[in-house]
Amino acid sequence: MAVGIFDSGLGGLTVHQAVQARLPDLDLVYLADSAHAPYGVRTSDDIYNLTVAATQRLFDAGCDLVILACNTASAAALRRMQESWVPTDKRVLGVFVPLIEALTERQWGDNSPPREVEVKHVALFATPATVASRAFQRELAFRAIGVDVEAQACGGVVDAIEDGDFILAEAMVRSHVDALRRKMPDPQAAILGCTHYPLMQDTFQDALGAGVKVFSQADLVAESLADYLTRHPDKMGRGAPAFLTTGDPARVSSRATQFLRRPISFSAA
């Protein structure tokens, strides 16, 4: 049994770790497209083509279900993939919907019409490509009405995290929060719309203040996946657990080990 997890870099390891903790008997195949990271500054067509290639690699590895643990890929490529590319016996899921379901206090898979929700002012922190896609706002509109979303493109944060420069990443996060607050002084909730950002969650929370509820994706995606597999057990594939990368395996392994503070060994994809 295996489920694929894809990210342009190492951010998806936060999702991998949460899924592993929630579903310890599930084998996971993780693919980092490190050779082409970051995705956040690429065009939508470029992101689509790279995401399709990576997803096909995970299908070839025996995965029938692939989680796009990359918000940029989920925003720029997922809908197009589902409508025109994904084989009928496979599934590709993104990371936005579990987050929005939590924000709007819906049960997993609740597709009832949009309704009023308690939260009215939401800050979205994401990559430039995710912000430009407006995918979060589109998916939110399917589930809630009357919610004001202010998006802040957090350029440079992913690069700093991938380089292991957390001092720079912290400074950038605080700068982006300040910029967001100039547009929306009093958000009620904040969405960390990138799987790298949970590593900076304490900094986001500190900069935003204790009164702002910060939603991070990893645990929400893991819980949503557990529910999905209960309803669709046929989507547990036949692959063996692995960590794959399109980049230099030694370099990516070193960064991943630093990232999660435990040994991680990548192989060439």
pLDDT tens, residue by residue, 133-162: 999 999 999 999 999 999 999 999 988 988
> Do both 134 and 191 map to the same domain?
yes
Q: How many domains does the chain have?
A: 2
pLDDT exceeds cutoff 70 at 50: yes
Q: What percent of the chain has pLDDT over 70?
A: 99
Active site residue 70: yes
- The last residue of one of the domains, among 177, 200, 216, is 216
- Give the tokens for residue 67: 């989680």
| pTM (predicted TM-score) | 0.89
Neighbours of 182 (CB within 10 A): 9
> Do both 89 and 102 map to the same domain?
no
> Do both 142 and 41 map to the same domain?
no
**Set 37, 135, 194, 236: catalytic member:** 194
> Do both 23 and 83 map to the same domain?
yes
> Do both 110 and 23 map to the same domain?
no
Rounded Cα–Cα distance for residues 240 and 152 (Å): 39
Check the CA dihedral 72-76-81-83 and report its sign: positive
Active site residue 63: no
The CATH number covering residue 121 comes to 3.40.50.1860
> Do both 160 and 171 map to the same domain?
yes
**Set 69, 70, 169, 191: catalytic member:** 70
Q: Give yes or no for a contact between 238 and 4, defined as CB atoms under 8 angstroms apart.
A: no
Question: Taking residues 24-28, what's their average pLDDT?
Answer: 93
Q: Tally the C-alpha atoms within 13 A of residue 84's C-alpha that lie toward its C-beta.
A: 6
Among residues 5, 11, 7, the alpha carbon closest in space to that of 157 is found at 11
> Do both 210 and 223 map to the same domain?
no
> Do both 64 and 111 map to the same domain?
no
For residue 24, what are the domain limits? 2-94+218-268
